[in-house]
């Protein structure tokens, strides 16, 4: 996701942290503001674009070598490359964030990575190898010639919300929280975290990746990528078809992140 999506995931998560987890996270991040997770949610994207942080670029995705739209699947052994992926990164930073032998700086770094990667895993195209997560799928959205990945990460969410500021993210999060508590997502939210297990991070994060990857076949490119490249403009028909899934995945990411951090605090800290 872009900055709007990551900050929204973070604000949704903040709403579901226990008081004890929240104050632990504020201490780790040295930020007692009301945006302590949102403030660092996109740090990993900034870091990856620096020379010192280039090693972390593969950790933002898992390149599922499946065959959309005919067949979607994630297989950790097949798909997590030698330099690591989002699923191996979840395992590494889930361990490190609770490792009291590490420096305060390393523990804070681990938390910043976790907040970001739980979000990225819910973006279907971050769980897909085809054309590098559809970065290589040329499309037109609202008159711009861009690629399908960036439309999912950034331009479709921004079209929905009308901006990408922290205030925009907070407002989107408020809507999603109300849908989780007593709306569209109320009955599904338990399934979003069912079986999540701090002792089996690879299994858990692979399940999250499989859940989002299945959407590549069913929602992102159900008629294949060529059909999207051939569209005159993805707005409004394609946008209208997929925007509900984008909202669902952001809500899911926030709810999962909160549960994950609550479990980390309860069992590791």
Question: Which residues contribute to the site for ligand DCM (CB under 6 A)?
Answer: 60-61, 63, 125-126, 132-133, 135, 141-142, 144, 146, 149, 153, 155
Sign of the C-alpha dihedral computed for residues 98, 100, 101 and 105 taken in this order: positive
* Nearest residue to ligand DCM, scored by beta-carbon proximity: 133
* Residue 149 is a catalytic residue: yes
Binding to Zn ion, residues 108-147 (CB under 5 A): 120
**Residue 117 C-beta: closest distance to Zn ion, Å:** 7
Q: In the complex with ligand DCM, which residue's Cβ is closer, 3 or 17?
A: 3
* Residue 120 is a catalytic residue: yes
Report in angstroms the alpha-carbon separations of 205 from 54, 210, 233. 23, 9, 34
**159 Cβ contact list (under 8 Å, min separation 6):** 142, 235, 239
* Residue 24 is a catalytic residue: no
Q: In the complex with Zn ion, which residue's Cβ is closer, 185 or 249?
A: 249
Query: Exposure pattern of 232-249 as b/e (b: 16+ CB <10 Å)?
Result: eebbeebbeebeebbbbb
Among residues 96, 112, 126, 256, the one annotated as catalytic is: 126
* Residue 241 is a catalytic residue: no
Greatest alpha-carbon pair distance for the chain in Å reads 56
Q: Which of 60, 96, 252, 256 binds Zn ion (CB under 5 A)?
A: 60
Binding to Zn ion, residues 35-54 (CB under 5 A): 45
The one-character DSSP state at 162 is: S
* Residue 6 is a catalytic residue: yes
Q: In the complex with ligand DCM, which residue's Cβ is closer, 17 or 124?
A: 124
Q: Distance between CA atoms of 27 and 25, rounded to whole angstroms?
A: 5
């Amino acid at each position: 996701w872009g900055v709007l999506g990551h900050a929204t995931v973070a604000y949704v998560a903040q709403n579901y942290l226990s008081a004890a987890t929240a104050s632990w996270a504020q201490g780790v991040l040295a930020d007692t503001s009301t945006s302590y997770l949102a403030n660092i949610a996109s740090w990993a994207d900034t870091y990856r674009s620096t020379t010192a942080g280039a090693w972390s670029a593969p950790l933002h995705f898992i390149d599922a070598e499946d065959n959309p739209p005919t067949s979607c699947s994630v297989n950790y052994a097949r798909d997590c490359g030698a330099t690591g992926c989002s699923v191996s990164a979840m395992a590494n930073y889930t361990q490190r964030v609770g490792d009291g032998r590490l420096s305060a700086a390393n523990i804070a770094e681990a938390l910043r990575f976790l907040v970001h990667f739980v979000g990225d895993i819910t973006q279907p195209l971050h769980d897909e190898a085809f054309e590098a997560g559809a970065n290589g799928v040329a499309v037109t959205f609202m008159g711009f010639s861009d690629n399908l990945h960036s439309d999912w990460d950034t331009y479709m969410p921004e079209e929905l919300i009308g901006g990408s500021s922290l205030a925009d993210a907070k407002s989107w999060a408020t809507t999603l929280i109300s849908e989780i508590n007593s709306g569209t997502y109320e009955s599904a939210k338990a399934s979003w975290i069912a079986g999540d297990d701090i002792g089996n991070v690879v299994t858990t994060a692979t399940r999250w990746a499989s859940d989002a990857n299945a959407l590549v076949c069913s929602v992102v490119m159900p008629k294949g990528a060529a059909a999207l490249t051939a569209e005159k403009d993805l707005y409004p028909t394609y946008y209208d078809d997929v925007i509900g899934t984008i909202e669902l995945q952001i809500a899911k990411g926030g709810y999962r992140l909160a549960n994950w951090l609550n479990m980390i605090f309860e069992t590791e800290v």
